[in-house]
Structure 1
Amino acid sequence: MRSSVETYDIRSGEIEVVWQTDRLVEAPNWSPDGSHLVINDDGRLYRLGFDGSQPIEIDTGFATACNNDHGISPDGRMIAISDKTEFGKSAIYLLPARGGAPRLITRNLPSYWHGWSPDGRTLTYCGIRDQAFDIYTISVDGGEERRLTHGEGRNDGPDWSADGQWIYFNSSRTGRMQIWRIRPDGSDVTRITDSPYGDWFPHPSPDGKQLLVLSYDGDVFDHPRDLDVRLRLMDMDGGNARVLFELFGGQGTINVPNWSPSGDRFAFVRYEPES
């Protein structure tokens, strides 16, 4: 086993294995209707059910170099992908959830998708412009992007709160990577975690009460794969933080929104070292 796609029940603490493979798969999204996960593997996206069957490839047209920054729209009709086939750098596209031709959204590159607004009308993402990693938003119709951060360290991993009032993200502006939040208009930047860890990829729960975070050891730079990490759960303001469990993972474990629609479980990927 190289990759183990699993779910965690936050009430019981029970972990269930959905599917295991000797391939490197990443970044499970949970579909809004609860029926399946979406994962990526070697530049392609796959639909993974909970019945033990093999994943089914999603037709992404010419986009065959998808990375692990992908996600299903709140109404379940569209998928946002990040793919570098067309330009050699990651661009964000939308396509039907059932599969189809990608439609370009971001013309400024590279751009890495991370979250949908609750109303499904706006995307948030990390864009690298002149070597600065910042948080941006853009309409699902494309057009001009809106820059929310301005080079205060590295800013990455944005995801929307369920009420649409905040975008949570990770930033190294104080040194070690920590979790912050910002209003969609760029105001009220607030620090959420003050931990000894390197905190990445915050994902607010659907009920708006809890925040899931991937935490590396404090001396780890960036978000590499194949390390001992932990998944932590906390209140939306960072209070009552606790380690749920430790695992071998990192990059690919929870890069994108991964909560079940009911908010009682989340999906993640656990890894084993390559032999």
Structure 2
Amino acid sequence: MTERRMPPEHPVAGPRPRPRQDLGGEPRQGTWRWVILALGLVFCSLSMVLGAAALGAYHGARDRALAMQEAAQEHYQRGLEHRQAGEWELARVEFEEALRLNPGLDEARQQLSEVLGRLAVQPTATSEARTQAVAALLAEAQALYAAGQWEEAARRLETVRSLDPDFQPDLLSELLYNTYLSAAQELEKAGRDEEALAFYGKALALRPDDPGVKAAQDRLTLYAAALSAWGRDWEEAVRLLEGLWELDPTYRDVEPRLVRALVAAGDAYRQQGGWCLAAERYARALRLRPDEAVQQKAEEAKAACARPTSTPRPTGTQAPLPAPTPEASPEATLKAAGPLPTGRILFSRYDPVRDMHEILIVPAEGGEPEVVAQEASQPAVSPDGQWLAFHSWERNRLGILIAPLAGGERQKPMRTTYLEDVQPTWSPDGKRLAFGSNRHGDRKWRVYVTWVEGREEAQELVFGEAPDWSRADGRLVFRGCGPTCEVWGLYVTDEQGAAQSLLVADPSATAPAWSPDGKWIAFMSNRDGNWELYVVGADGLGLRRLTNGPEHDGVPTWSPDGKWIAFLSHRTGAWGVYALPLEPGADVHLVTLVPGEYSDWMQEQLAWIP
């Protein structure tokens, strides 16, 4: 899975020294006393809060441990009763449960050993005796179910199923499902999310097509994952919480928590000098919940974003750019002799001033970009050049949509409904789309295929992301880890996902793109410490590097004639679309500078049409 991170064009900088204020003398002694006293009071208050929280957690854990010990003792006593009555199977079940709850209960361990010894030497129980034992266990489970003791009832029912799977199977399945679901809901209310997810999983194993349980599992999975990312990766927390908010804006504290995550992400970008990205995060937070302090931050970030120097250049150990020469400077390249690329290139940008994602089209030889779609990114054009598939940012139509490239209302019925569905690619016949998504509850990336005419739900193809469909032979290339998930890199598979072959063993390789003739694959990688373009043969041979500079190059796409590769680059300190001729020694051609920003440039996508 691609690691989420702040975009590399905004490096993390160390704390800046604050300017010293000359107030005309040293501070008075009394002032320092008051400051120290105030800090001491704050520290004491914080210690009391943390201490109370720790004490509460301690008492909660202690109470739960005592309850488990009492339950273990009850099971032990029941085991003794079953043993005295000669009900050896039931005695075994009770002693095992007692030890599960309290592994230190030595008397239960001794009794279990003796019961297992008796079971090993006694004749096999008659079917009537086994049926009676199983019926007794089922009756206990039903009593526990009626009492609302879901976890205990689930364990009894699972024991019944292990002893005799054919004993009243319909009733047993119904009871297990309802028990699992009730246990999951109770545990979720108690904040025991991991245990709740386990029970949701068991319920889905019995009824995989239950939309209510699947939705409940997805909501809880997103929330738990967001809590895991909280304070560690604000962009990931925002992405997860936004996905949850789209599913159910009333779930727990998702809305105020999402606002806090957006503001924290904005603050992080602000500290790095990424003003445009900070302005976008603040604007999204304000749309959910107005706040004067956030409004002030948004206005400051928007003003800084509008200044030409708002995008910082990378600093640190990176080598500086070479001095401009007539051959090296983008401006000189535009005037250089030799053939220029033909056709049109589509790319997307984010405008923080209007808070909008847009897809633009520009002549490949250079010119003024024109907007072709709003609230859209990641363009992909159908083989006949008539249709545009893209990732939609519309609040009520998140996912992947299709619209006429020439403009107008969407006519084809196909759309996906998951925020996580990204980077569409067309099949050679234009009847299907492949895309990457981590929409599933486990948040693992998968490649899906769906019909453009909306015949059925998207079908999972393989584990992976960033797919590209070859128009020459119908194969797909994608980033993944193979059938056994042992080696990360680029893989090639057929339309059914049945045969996966490793193309490039490189964990950082991503954004693969087929050449029009299906003989080559361009991709981006930071294998040498910086994001650069590479190309490799479809058979895995002939790997070579295409770019080499201190700035990032990536997201390649091929020209229709296969003689050029367009890509995004930050080589001038701002994002631009460039075209690279494949003939050795030729100049890189600046198509256009991107009039905007990217929240995650590695998720972008270009398209080149005649």
TM over 0.5: yes
Between Structure 1 and Structure 2, the one with more strand by share is: 1
1:37 aligns with 2:388: yes
Match of residue 115 from structure 1: 468
Q: Select the residue among 185, 199, 202 that pairs with 2:539.
A: 185
- Residue type matched to 2:379 in 1? P
CA separation of 1:88/1:259 partners in 2, compared to 1, >3 Å: closer, same or farther?
same
Q: Select the residue among 564, 567, 590 that pairs with 1:243.
A: 590
Q: Percent identity, please.
A: 22
TM-score, reference length from structure 1: 0.78
The separation in 2 between residues aligned to 1:64 and 1:37, in whole angstroms, is 18
CA contact 1:182–1:188 (8 Å) conserved in 2? yes
1:7 aligns with 2:354: no
Match of residue 96 from structure 1: 451
Report deviation, 1:57: 7.8
Match of residue 575 from structure 2: 229
- Write the mapping of 1:52-91 to structure 2, written as runs, cut at 5 A: 52-55=407-410, 58-60=413-415, 64-86=418-440, 87-91=442-446
CA separation of 1:164/1:243 partners in 2, compared to 1, >3 Å: closer, same or farther?
same
Report deviation, 1:128: 5.0
Report deviation, 1:173: 1.4
CA separation of 1:252/1:28 partners in 2, compared to 1, >3 Å: closer, same or farther?
farther
- Write the mapping of 1:98-177 to structure 2, written as runs, cut at 5 A: 98-99=453-454, 100-106=456-462, 109=463, 111-128=464-481, 133-151=488-506, 154-177=508-531
- Residue type matched to 1:243 in 2? L
Q: Deviations over 1:110-130 (max 9, x none)?
A: x11331122242101112577
TM-align CA RMSD: 2.8
Report deviation, 1:252: 6.1
- Residue type matched to 1:143 in 2? A
- Residue type matched to 1:178 in 2? E
CA separation of 1:177/1:187 partners in 2, compared to 1, >3 Å: closer, same or farther?
same
Match of residue 221 from structure 1: none
CA contact 1:134–1:147 (8 Å) conserved in 2? yes
The separation in 1 between residues aligned to 2:424 and 2:499, in whole angstroms, is 21
Report deviation, 1:59: 3.6
CA contact 2:481–2:489 (8 Å) conserved in 1? yes
CA separation of 1:131/1:154 partners in 2, compared to 1, >3 Å: closer, same or farther?
farther
Secondary structure of 2:529's match? Answer: coil
1:259 aligns with 2:259: no
Report deviation, 1:52: 4.3
CA separation of 1:28/1:71 partners in 2, compared to 1, >3 Å: closer, same or farther?
same
The separation in 1 between residues aligned to 2:458 and 2:555, in whole angstroms, is 25
The separation in 2 between residues aligned to 1:141 and 1:257, in whole angstroms, is 26
Relative contact order higher in (CA < 8 Å, ≥ 6 apart): 1
- Residue type matched to 1:102 in 2? A
Report deviation, 1:180: 0.5
- Structure 2 unaligned blocks of 5 or more: 1-353
The separation in 2 between residues aligned to 1:237 and 1:194, in whole angstroms, is 16
Secondary structure of 1:259's match? Answer: strand
CA contact 1:68–1:252 (8 Å) conserved in 2? no
Match of residue 271 from structure 1: none
CA separation of 1:175/1:161 partners in 2, compared to 1, >3 Å: closer, same or farther?
same
Report deviation, 1:197: 2.2
CA contact 1:80–1:95 (8 Å) conserved in 2? yes
CA contact 2:447–2:467 (8 Å) conserved in 1? no
CA separation of 1:179/1:14 partners in 2, compared to 1, >3 Å: closer, same or farther?
same
Report deviation, 1:50: 4.1
Report deviation, 1:132: 6.7
CA contact 1:167–1:184 (8 Å) conserved in 2? yes
The separation in 2 between residues aligned to 1:44 and 1:96, in whole angstroms, is 15
Secondary structure of 2:373's match? Answer: strand
Report deviation, 1:69: 1.8
Q: Deviations over 1:132-190 (max 9, x none)?
A: 75111111111132112223x61111001111111101111111111011112211111
Q: Deviations over 1:184-236 (max 9, x none)?
A: 22111111112332111111111111110111359xxxxxxxx9411111112
Name the count of aligned residue pairs. 245
CA separation of 1:33/1:197 partners in 2, compared to 1, >3 Å: closer, same or farther?
same
After superposing the two structures, state which structure 1 stretch, 209-218 or 250-259, moved more.
250-259
CA contact 1:202–1:211 (8 Å) conserved in 2? yes
Secondary structure of 1:70's match? Answer: strand
The separation in 2 between residues aligned to 1:246 and 1:132, in whole angstroms, is 37
CA separation of 1:58/1:65 partners in 2, compared to 1, >3 Å: closer, same or farther?
farther
Secondary structure of 2:504's match? Answer: coil
CA contact 1:214–1:254 (8 Å) conserved in 2? no
Secondary structure of 1:148's match? Answer: strand
CA separation of 1:8/1:133 partners in 2, compared to 1, >3 Å: closer, same or farther?
farther
- Residue type matched to 1:98 in 2? E
Between Structure 1 and Structure 2, the one with more helix by share is: 2
